[in-house]
Structure 1
Amino acid sequence: MKDLKGKNCFITGAASGIGRSVALELAREGMNLYITDINEEGLANVKKEIEEIGVKVISSKCDVSKFEDWEKCEGVFRENLGDIDLLVNNAGIAIGGSILQLELEDWEKVLGVNLWSIIYSLKTFVPRMLAKGSGHIVNVSSGAGIFGSPEPLPYVTTKFAVVGLSEALFGSLNGMGINVSVICPWVIATNIWNISELKVPQKLIEDVGEEKIEEMMNEVRQGFLDIAISPDEVAKIYVKEIKENKLYICDNKDYFNILALKGKPQEFENALKMIHAERTKNMRDRYSKMGINIDDYR
C-alpha cells in the first residue's frame, strides 16, 4: 500500500499515544480515518487535529473488548467511508503483579482488550477486505511480544499472542491481496504508563502503606519515561514501513537481534536468565531503599 491518499482506515486506541500519532501521520498521507477509543474527551481533541489536516474523519467511543461495539462501528464505517483499506489494532492495557497476586478477572480484562479485540476486528473487517481483494491489517504488539519480560504477565502473554496471530495471518492471507504487519514498540511515552495497574501483596500494603507503594511506582514509571521515545517520532517509522508492507515493524533494531538469537536456543536461554535476574535485582534494590525485603512478601 504505497499510496495512502484517499484510502480509508479504522484505528483503535486513537485518543492518545501511538494511536493518536499514527492517526495524524496517516492523515498527513491523505487517509480518511475512523478513530475510536474509550476516552471520548481525548478522541474529540484528536478528531479536531485531523480535521485541521483536511481529510475526512469520524469518531466514536468503542470498547474493543465487546464484539457488539465492533459490529456497530463496522456499520458506521461502511455508511460514512465505504470500503476499508487499513485496519490498525492499537488499543492496549497492562496489569502487573506476580502470578499469585493476579486474579482471573485481571487476565480476562487484559485478554479482552489486547487479544480478543483483534480477533473481533478480524471477524468484523476481514470479510470485507477479502470481498474486494485488498487491504492491510496492522496489529500493535510490543517488544514484550518478542522477548518474555518477567512482568507484567498478562500483558506479555497477549503481546506474544499478537505476534503469533500476525505471523499466522501473514501466511494465511498471502496471495489474497491482504498484507499484515505487526508493530513491536520499544519504550514509548504513552498513557499506558499512567493507566497500568500493579497488584501488590496486601500484607505489603498493610506494612508500608499505599502512599509509599505509590511513591515507588511513580519512581519506576519515571525511570521508563526518562528513556522513552516520543510517539510522534516512531509514528513516522511505522507509517513508512506499513507503506513498504513490512511484516515486522520495530523502532528498536535490537529486537531483530533477539529474533535471530531465538535460533540459538542455549544463547537465548542464557540471555533470558540474565535479563530476568537483572530486573529482579533492580526491583529488590528499589524496595530495599524503602527498607523492604521484597522476598518476605512472595
Structure 2
Amino acid sequence: MDFSEDILPIFISLFQILQSVICWPFPKAKKNLNGEVVVITGAGSGIGALLAAKLAKMGCVVVAWDINEEALQSVIQQIKNAGGKAFGFKCDVSDREQVYFTAKESAKVAGDVTMLINNAGIVGGKNLLETDDEMVKKTFEVNAISHFWTTKAFLPKMMEKNHGHIVSIASSLGYFAAPKLTDNCSSKAAAAHFADALSVELYKAKSSVNVTWVCPYTISTGMFKGVFAGRPWMCNVLKPEFVADQIIQAIQENRNKVFLPKLLDILSLLKEVLPREAMMTFLSWFGVLDAMNDFIGRKKQA
C-alpha cells in the first residue's frame, strides 16, 4: 500500500471537511466583480434583466442576449441611463451557429468575456402526453443544450487567461420532479449536471475558471405565472430581487451548487434516504403535485 496514493488523499479529504465545517458560520471572502465582461442570456426580462442591472452597477461590462429585441433594448437603455456600460444582441440560443456568431460579435465590442451566465429558459407546463414534440425539443435546446454552445464559445479564452466564471441558472426542478414539467425537470437536470461535470473537468485541468449552478425554487416572474406554493410558511415562491442577489453572492464567493432557499439542501438529502412512497406522500403534502394546476406562464423564450 502506497501512503501517498492510498492513505494521504483520505487525510486531505478529512481535513477539507473539517475546514469547511469550521469556516461555515463565518462570512466568505467576496471577489470584486468590477471590470468583468459578462454575457447574460435571457437578459430581456425576469432574473436576467435584474442580473444585468445589478452587475452593471457593480462595474461589470454587461453583454445582454435575448430573443426579444424590444425588451432587450429597454434593459440596455436603463443600464446606460444609470451610468452603466452595456451592449445588447438579439440571439436565439437554441441556434448553435447564431450563438457562435453572436459570441464573436460580443467580443468585438466588449472585449474578452470573463463571465458567462446561462440564464435563458422556457417552460411548457403540460403533462408529457399533452406536450408537443417540437416543444420538448425546444425546451432542451434552450434550457440545456445551449449551455454547450455558449460555454464552448467563451471558455477557451477564459482558460487561456486562467480567469473566468461560468454560471448556469438551473432549477430545483432538476432535482425534484413535478407533474406537468417532465420536459422542464429533465432539461434543468441536464443543465445542472452539465455545470457539475464541467467543474470536475476544470478541476482536473487545474484551471482557475469557476463554475456555479444555481437551483432556485419557483420564482415570481412571468415564466411561472399561476404556480402556487402549497406550504408558503415553509417554502414560498421566491422574489426575483432575492434570487438575483443570491446568484451574485454565489458568484462572488465562488460557490458551486446553490439551492434557493437553503431548505432545499435538506430536502435533497431526504429524497435520497426516504422510501419512494414516503417521498411521494411528502411531496403531496408539500403541494408539489398540484402546484402547476393553474399554471399560465409566459410561454415564450426568455
Aligned residue among 240, 246, 270 for 1:237: 246
Aligned residue among 194, 204, 218 for 1:187: 218
The alpha carbon displacement at 1:116 in A equals 1.2
Aligned residue among 245, 268, 281 for 1:274: 281
Letter in 1 for 2:276: E
Secondary structure at 2:130 match in 1: coil
Specify the alignment match of 1:58 in structure 2. 87
Secondary structure at 1:96 match in 2: coil
4+ residue runs over 3 A deviation: 275-286
Aligned residue among 64, 77, 87 for 1:35: 64
Q: Answer yes or no: is the 8 Å Cα contact 1:141–1:160 preserved in 2.
A: yes
Which digits, 9 at most, give the CA deviation of each residue in 1:159-198, with x for residues without a partner? 111111111111111221110001111221212135xxxx
Secondary structure at 2:76 match in 1: helix
How many residue pairs match? The answer is 258
Higher helix share: 1
Secondary structure at 1:149 match in 2: coil
Which digits, 9 at most, give the CA deviation of each residue in 1:34-88, with x for residues without a partner? 0011111211111112113323210011101001211121111211111111100
Identity %: 31
The alpha carbon displacement at 1:262 in A equals 4.2
Specify the alignment match of 1:74 in structure 2. 103
What is the TM-score when the length of structure 1 is the normalising length?
0.80
Secondary structure at 1:158 match in 2: helix
Q: Answer yes or no: is the 8 Å Cα contact 1:35–1:58 preserved in 2.
A: yes
Letter in 2 for 1:181: T
Specify the alignment match of 2:78 in structure 1. 49
Specify the alignment match of 2:266 in structure 1. 257
Q: Answer yes or no: is the 8 Å Cα contact 1:85–1:134 preserved in 2.
A: yes
Pair 1:108 & 2:115 matched: no
Aligned residue among 20, 23, 28 for 2:52: 23
The alpha carbon displacement at 1:102 in A equals 2.0
Which stretch has the larger CA shift, 185-194 or 119-128?
A: 185-194
Task: Quote the RMSD (CA, aligned, Å).
Answer: 2.4
Specify every segment of 5 or more residues in structure 1 that has no aligned partner in the other structure, as ranges.
Answer: 195-220, 287-298
Q: How does 1:114-263 map to 2 (within 5 A)?
A: 114-174=143-203, 175-193=206-224, 221=226, 223=228, 227-263=236-272
The alpha carbon displacement at 1:234 in A equals 1.9
